[in-house]
Amino acid sequence: MAIGAVQIGLMYSFYYHSFLYLSVPEVLLFTVMTPVYITLLNDLLNKSFNRTFLTSALIAMFGAITIRFTELTSDYFFGLLLVQGANLCFAIGQVSYKRLSAQHSLIHRQSFGFFFIGASCVLALGLVLFGNLQQLPTTGQQWGILIYLGLIASGIGYFVWNVGLTRVSVGELAVMNNALIPAGILVNLLIWNKEADLIRLGIGSLIIFAALVHSKRASSG
C-alpha cells in the first residue's frame, strides 16, 4: 500500500499541482530527471555506485531534453520543485516495487490491489483538500475519457509497467522512463494528428535508444 501511495498518490498530487505554476511544455520538460533519480536511489540502497547505469540515465535525460526543450518563464522555480517531487515519488515507487518483488517473489495479480488501495487513499485525501466538485465531468464523453484514464491508462497501464520493471535491470528501467516521451508523441502524431518537431523527435529518440543499448550491454556483459 505504501508503494502505491507514493508512486501514484503522492506523485500525481505533486504533478497536477505543478500545472498551477507552469505551462504544459514546462511540466513535460521537467519530468526528464526521473531516470537519474532511479539510478541514484538504487545506488543509495545498495550502498554502491553503478557508473554505467548513471551514464545511461544521463544520456536518456539528454535525449528527452532534446525532444522537450522549451523556453522557460521567469517564475518557474516553485513549479520545478513540485515536478521534481513527482519525479522522486515515481522513482521511489518503482525502485521499491522492484526490490520488494525480488525479495519476496510477489505474485503481482494478487498483491497489486493493495498498491491501488494505497494510491486511492492519498488521492482521496487530495480530493478533500484540493478538489472542486463543480469541475467534475458533465457529459458522457467526458466521463468516458475519465473512466478510460482511470481504469485502462492508469489501472492496467501501471500494473503492466510495474510487472515489466521487475524483469529488466535498473539501468534499463531508468532509460525506459524517458523512452515513454517519444512513444507518447508518436501516439499523438499518428492517432490525434498533433504537430511535432520530427527532427528533434528523431534525434532525441536515437539518443534515448543509444542509452538503452548502452545499459543493456552493461547488464548482459
59 membership: H or E segment, kind and range: helix 51-68
Per-residue cell: 124: 482521496
Q: What pLDDT score was predicted for residue 33?
A: 96
Provide the mean pLDDT of the chain.
91
> What's the predicted TM-score (pTM) here?
0.91
C-alpha pair distances (Å), 88 with each of 16, 52, 103, 192: 15, 21, 22, 30
The string of pLDDT tens digits covering residues 17-37 is 999 999 988 998 999 999 999
Flag whether pLDDT at 51 surpasses 90: yes
- For 188, the domain range is 2-220
User: What's the rounded Cα separation, in Å, for the pair 73 and 167?
Assistant: 40
Range 36-55 average pLDDT? 96
Looking at the 3D structure of the chain, how many domains does it have?
A: 1
The string of pLDDT tens digits covering residues 10-20 is 999 999 999 99
Flag whether pLDDT at 221 surpasses 70: no
The string of pLDDT tens digits covering residues 53-92 is 999 999 999 999 999 998 888 789 999 999 999 999 999 9
Residue 112 pLDDT class (50, 70, 90 cuts): confident
Q: What pLDDT score was predicted for residue 156?
A: 93
Amino acid identity at 203: I
Q: What pLDDT score was predicted for residue 54?
A: 96
CB atoms within 10 A of CB 183: 12
Number of H helices, E strands in the chain: 11, 0
Q: Say which residue, 95 or 221, is predicted with more confidence.
A: 95
Q: What pLDDT score was predicted for residue 106?
A: 82
